[in-house]
Amino acid sequence: MSTQMKPILGINYYFSPCDYNDAAFRDERRSEPVACFVQNFKRWMEERYDVEVHTYDCVDVAADNVKAVLYFDYNWKYARKDMLLQRIPFEKRALMIIEPANINPSLYYLASYRNRFSTIFTWDRRLLSKHPNYKPVNVPVGAEPSAYRENHFGEITFNEKKLLIAVSRNRWAYMPQSTYGVRKAAYKHFEANCKDGFDLYGQGWNTPVTSFEKWFGFHRFSCYRGEIPGAWDDKVAVMSHYKFALCYENNANQLGYVSEKITDCLCARCVPIYYGSPGVEDLIPQNCWIDAKRFRNFREMQDFIVNMTRERHAEYLAAIEDFMHSPKLDFFSTDHYFTTLAEGLGFNKKRPLP
């Protein structure tokens, strides 16, 4: 009988002491998005690869069966207080770059932070072209697209759907790639000109996000409907009651950044008005979404969607339906994401029992 110990993977998702000692995996934390994500990853690795997953503080990094310690993002602030990375042998250090440059510039403009890791996963095509040893991976998405291959919302008719929705967090960033200014301008336009036809959901609206707004005031959106309680599936259910969604990526200049903002719309059968990076059409056919950059101004965008016929809208939905049943959807799946991480770290899939 083999006495070989099971392989172990340590992970760190911006963990703090309240997450240590595997506390992030407790059942009562499952409603928290990050905890839910790492719990799904832990369960998936154990079932598919027979690998134990623990928070990085409670693994013996020198042990032979601890194969790697995977960080989900890293930045200069975290580097100042993280005393564990320096104890991990370099060859066991792995990094998944999640956030774009406007949210986490450290990993894009300061190579010294990336150079602390031996294995690096990224969706950024420019980094991948400059560093052939980096491993390509998709951006993790929200609702699981494969669960929505079949249309859950086919009974909601064109006439029953409201015109337009936006779901986003009220954010600010000093980096020029940020789309926060332009998407807020879009929200203001549709609030003023679509009255009862536009609803805004998400975190942080109608409160100040900068000291400037705290001192000098900020716009209060009358179209704000609050946060959507629950997880990604609840967001999809709300979006299914709208014909269109304003869908602005946090960063629309980094090739390869395609997030849940568009895939959640497709799951909901809500046509995205999408503002993203070039090359998105290589991953999602352009007949599934409306390119927000094609319009000269918001008035032109408004006229386009307000005057769209039921038949034209149905053509977009038919294209979405084709995509949802195509192999291209698999790129955005959690299965693809986790498989890329597992195999990029050198784990072998568990052999089925005879």
Tell me the pLDDT tens digit for each residue of 23-48.
999 999 987 878 888 999 999 999 99
Domain range for residue 239?
A: 145-332
- Assigned domain for 350 exists: no
Structure tokens at 29: 């934390």
Q: What is the pLDDT of residue 349?
A: 82
Examine the domain organization and report whether 41 and 129 are in the same domain: yes
Examine the domain organization and report whether 58 and 199 are in the same domain: no
Q: How far, in Å, CA of 80 to CA of 93, rounded?
A: 17
Examine the domain organization and report whether 122 and 224 are in the same domain: no
Examine the domain organization and report whether 118 and 267 are in the same domain: no
| Average pLDDT of the chain, as a whole number | 93
Examine the domain organization and report whether 55 and 84 are in the same domain: yes
| CATH code: domain of residue 224 | 3.40.50.2000
On the 0-12 / 13-18 / 19+ scale of CB atoms within 10 A, 73 is: middle
Helix (H) or strand (E) holding 245: strand 242-248
* 57, pLDDT greater than 50: yes
* 3, pLDDT greater than 80: no
Q: What is the pTM of this model?
A: 0.90
Number of domains in the chain: 2
pLDDT (mean) for 89-116 = 94
Q: What is the pLDDT of residues 170-193, one digit of tens each?
A: 988 777 778 899 999 999 999 999
Beta bridge partners of 246: 166, 273
* 352, pLDDT greater than 70: no
Examine the domain organization and report whether 305 and 159 are in the same domain: yes
CB 332 within 8 A of CB 338: no
Helix (H) or strand (E) holding 53: strand 52-55
CB 98 within 8 A of CB 250: no
- Assigned domain for 63 exists: yes
Examine the domain organization and report whether 129 and 174 are in the same domain: no
Round the CA-based radius of gyration of the chain to a whole number and report it.
22
pLDDT (mean) for 310-325 = 98
Examine the domain organization and report whether 257 and 292 are in the same domain: yes
- Assigned domain for 132 exists: yes
E strand segments, 13-51: none
Q: How far, in Å, CA of 251 to CA of 178, rounded?
A: 5
- Angular region, 84: left φ>0, alpha ψ -120 to 50, beta rest: alpha
Examine the domain organization and report whether 105 and 214 are in the same domain: no
Examine the domain organization and report whether 117 and 172 are in the same domain: no
Examine the domain organization and report whether 311 and 337 are in the same domain: no
Q: What is the pLDDT of residues 130-175, one digit of tens each?
A: 999 999 999 988 899 999 999 999 999 999 999 999 999 998 877 7
> Which segment of 58-62, 173-177, 284-288, 350-354 scores lowest on mean pLDDT?
350-354
Q: What is the pLDDT of residues 236-263, one digit of tens each?
A: 999 999 999 999 999 998 999 999 999 9
Q: What is the pLDDT of residue 2?
A: 40
- Assigned domain for 103 exists: yes
- Assigned domain for 258 exists: yes
Q: How far, in Å, CA of 194 to CA of 200, rounded?
A: 12
pLDDT (mean) for 85-97 = 96
**Confidence band for 196, pLDDT divided at 50, 70 and 90:** confident
- Assigned domain for 297 exists: yes
pLDDT (mean) for 10-25 = 94
**Confidence band for 4, pLDDT divided at 50, 70 and 90:** low
Examine the domain organization and report whether 276 and 328 are in the same domain: yes
Pick the more confident residue, 352 or 13: 13
Integer angstrom CA distances of residue 18 from 14, 23, 65, 96, 118: 11, 7, 26, 22, 28
Which range, 31-35, 192-196, 270-274, is most confident?
270-274
- Assigned domain for 352 exists: no
- Assigned domain for 2 exists: no
Place of tokens 């890329």: 340
Closest CA to 269 of 353, 143, 179: 143
Q: Reduced to 3 states, what is the DSSP secondary structure of residue 212?
A: helix
